[in-house]
Amino acid sequence: MRRDRPTGHPQAEHRMVGKLSGLLATTALAAALTLAAASLAAPGIARADDAPADAKPPADAKPYVVQNGRVDHHVFNGYRRYGDNCLRCHGPDGAGSSYAPALVDSLKHMTKEQFEDTVINGRQDVNTANQNVMPAFGLNPDVVENLDEIYGYLKARSDGVLGRGRPKKIGDDDDN
Ligand code: HEC
């Protein structure tokens, strides 16, 4: 049986063609849309002086979501990772200890880049009698992969929008 021949049943053939042309139309539409999108994105044609497609969020965008003292799951994850990796030196809630500085204060003047650099590479205060060491966490995936969220949690604490203790999650009941 030759493959390029449909069943021969006229009705079936008709249905096939109908389906096919529908498909073709859809494909053509999709192609046209893709083209349109591409030409919009093309430099020169696009609003070149306007915000580029990969524009970053505004500089004043907060690195956390906190509503009425409640946090989203990113901030909550940051809280947990902080507890696992940083609390033993920097104290509960980023409030500092006799060994390591209060990160709630540090983040009032440190940039995010400085924060990340310190956590990844560690630091030792060699210019004073203080021999306390900030370990390098660059090889610790639990810290590296969650660094944005640890930062977000600490920044929320530093900005004063989040109190001490285990944060409540947005949408949770009060007794959670
Ligand atoms: C073993 C103890 C220890 C642990 C664990 C630790 N730190 Fe530190 N950290 C320190 C010490 C000590 C310093 C101060 C170092 C110095 O004076 O140079 C410090 C400094 C820092 C600073 C710079 C603060 C400033 O004001 O300059 C940041 C940021 C920081 N730590 C973040 C973290 C984060 C985030 C974690 C968890 C992922 C963490 N640290 C875990 C001991 C620790």
pTM of the model: 0.72
CA of 135 to the centre of ligand 1 (A): 7
pLDDT at site 31: 52
- DSSP strands (E only) in the chain: 66-67, 70-71, 123-124, 133-134, 168-169
pLDDT at site 35: 47
CA of 97 to the centre of ligand 1 (A): 11
- Considering only residues 120 and 6, tell me which one the structure prediction assigns the higher pLDDT: 120
Q: Poorest-confidence range of 32-41, 68-77, 79-88?
A: 32-41
Per-residue burial over 61-91, b if 16 or more Cβ lie within 10 Å, else e, is eebbebeeebbbebbbbbbbbbeebbbebbb
pLDDT at site 58: 74
The verdict on the CB of residue 147 being under 6 Å from ligand 1 is: no
Q: Which of 134, 154, 157, when mutated, tests ligand 1's pocket best, judged by the most ligand atoms within 8 Å of its CB?
A: 134
- pLDDT tens-digit map of 121-167: 999 876 767 778 999 999 999 999 999 999 999 999 999 999 999 99
The verdict on the CB of residue 85 being under 6 Å from ligand 1 is: yes
